[in-house]
Amino acid sequence: MAVVSMQPQVLPGRTLIGVSDWTTGLYDCSEDCGICCCALLCFPCLTCRTVKDMGECTCLPLLELCCCMGYIGCGAPCPPISLAVRATLREKYKIKGSICTDCATLCCCYSCAWCQMAREIKNRKRSYNLVTAQATAATAPIMMVPAPM
């Protein structure tokens, strides 16, 4: 068995390549009024749709909402399912941040954080929906007709 004698360290002056910011801010509800209205009228619908768009189990957020969550804050120190969803989204799209910033964001403004996640997925999917078209040439059969004499 090998013994680890040196722990990994951060090298000064290095930055991560390909890391980006959120495409919208936490309070940018005017960027997509449909998502904002969905959150206002049926917040569980927004959370379930967001998780579904990520490819996860649609009912996952309901476990958290049924237990102790509200529209403006959290009853637990940090909402565990929302935290996992937000961290997964950050990792998937290589968004700057940490688990601590995710936790603070969710505890301070739970519904705005979910709206931001929904907008992020929508914006990223829109930017990756490229239309590819291939030019194909169709040839008609050539018919040889004798010339009139």
Closest by CA position to 43, among listed 72, 67, 22, 23: 72
pLDDT (tens digit, 9 = 90+) per residue, 9-42? 555 544 556 789 999 999 998 889 999 999 999 9
pLDDT (tens digit, 9 = 90+) per residue, 74-99? 456 778 899 999 999 999 999 999 99
- The one-letter code for the residue type at 88 is T
Contact 110, 69 (CB under 8 A): yes
pTM greater than the 0.75 cutoff: no
Residue 64 has what pLDDT?
A: 82
Cα distances (angstroms) measured from residue 107 to each of 19, 25, 53, 73, 122: 24, 16, 23, 6, 23
CB-neighbour burial class of residue 93 (10 A; exposed 0-12, middle 13-18, buried 19+) = middle
Question: pLDDT class for 125, splitting at 50, 70, 90?
Answer: confident
